[in-house]
Amino acid sequence: MPARDDSTSSTLLRRLALSPPDEAAWGEFVERYGPRIFQWCRGWGLQEADILDVSQAVLVRLSIRLRRFEYDRSRSFRAWLRSVVRNAVQDGLTGRGPAVGAGTTDMIERLASVEARDDLARRLEQEFDLELLEVATAIVRTRVAPKTWEAYELTAREGLPPAEVARRLGMRVGTVYQARSSVTQMLQEEVRRLEGDPSELRPD
């Protein structure tokens, strides 16, 4: 995913809320968030024959909601996303019961429950968090020296001892610790910046 260090709209869910719409964002959205919705359907016991159909219905409604939802500036982005997800599920499943068997109808009702919708919201929030970290990582990596980034990667991501990393990179052990701490802090700050001020989202 290309990093854009210009605004909070660099994240995929925010790009879907832009006007005019970012058409490329839809394909990326389906590719990235679709599997989470698919797994959610399966996790709540929906029959394999109906998973794809229900997943697509929820995806379409979620996309529409993301583009048209009127954002309440007094709420956090995650509260906004949770509301969008719950409404999208309700819209996507409305009226589906009569077209399927009794067992599937019962399962559709389970998917439409508050508990199930909250579960899906959590899954999509987790994917959103991963996306934020990927974007932040791409941005921060361009802001530090290559050796500093490598020290961070080897210690924080690969779990190598700082002394071993220092030996490999020809650095002082203290410098390795400092590199890891500095990059970690930069990543945290960038993630917070990418989450951004909720008021930047476009209201309908």
* Number of domain units in the chain: 1
Rounded Cα distance between 77 and 36, Å, is: 19
Q: Taking a C-beta distance cutoff of 8 angstroms, is the pair 58, 92 a contact?
A: yes
Confidence of residue 200 (pLDDT cuts 50, 70, 90): very low
Question: Residue 127's closest CA among 181, 92, 85?
Answer: 85
CA distances 58 to 1, 105, 122, 173, Å, are 24, 16, 15, 51
Whole-structure pTM value: 0.75
Q: What does the angle CA 65 – CA 58 – CA 64 come to, to the nearest 5 degrees?
A: 20
Question: Within a domain: residue 36?
Answer: yes
Alpha-helical (H) ranges within 44-161 are: 48-68, 77-93, 102-111, 114-141, 146-152
Give helix 173-195 / helix 162-169 axis angle, nearest 10°: 100
Range of the domain at 51: 8-200
Question: Within a domain: residue 3?
Answer: no
Q: 166 exposed, middle or buried (CB, 10 Å; 0-12, 13-18, 19+)?
A: buried
Question: Within a domain: residue 37?
Answer: yes
Q: What is the pLDDT of residues 73-100, one digit of tens each?
A: 666 778 878 888 888 888 888 755 444 4
Peptide bond connecting 98 to the previous residue in cis, omega within 30 degrees of 0 = no
pLDDT at 151 over 80: yes
Rounded Cα distance between 161 and 148, Å, is: 15
pLDDT at 161 over 90: yes
Question: Within a domain: residue 156?
Answer: yes
Question: Within a domain: residue 22?
Answer: yes
Q: What is the pLDDT of residues 174-197, one digit of tens each?
A: 999 999 999 999 999 999 888 764
Confidence of residue 65 (pLDDT cuts 50, 70, 90): confident
Question: Within a domain: residue 2?
Answer: no
Question: Within a domain: residue 1?
Answer: no
Rounded Cα distance between 134 and 147, Å, is: 20
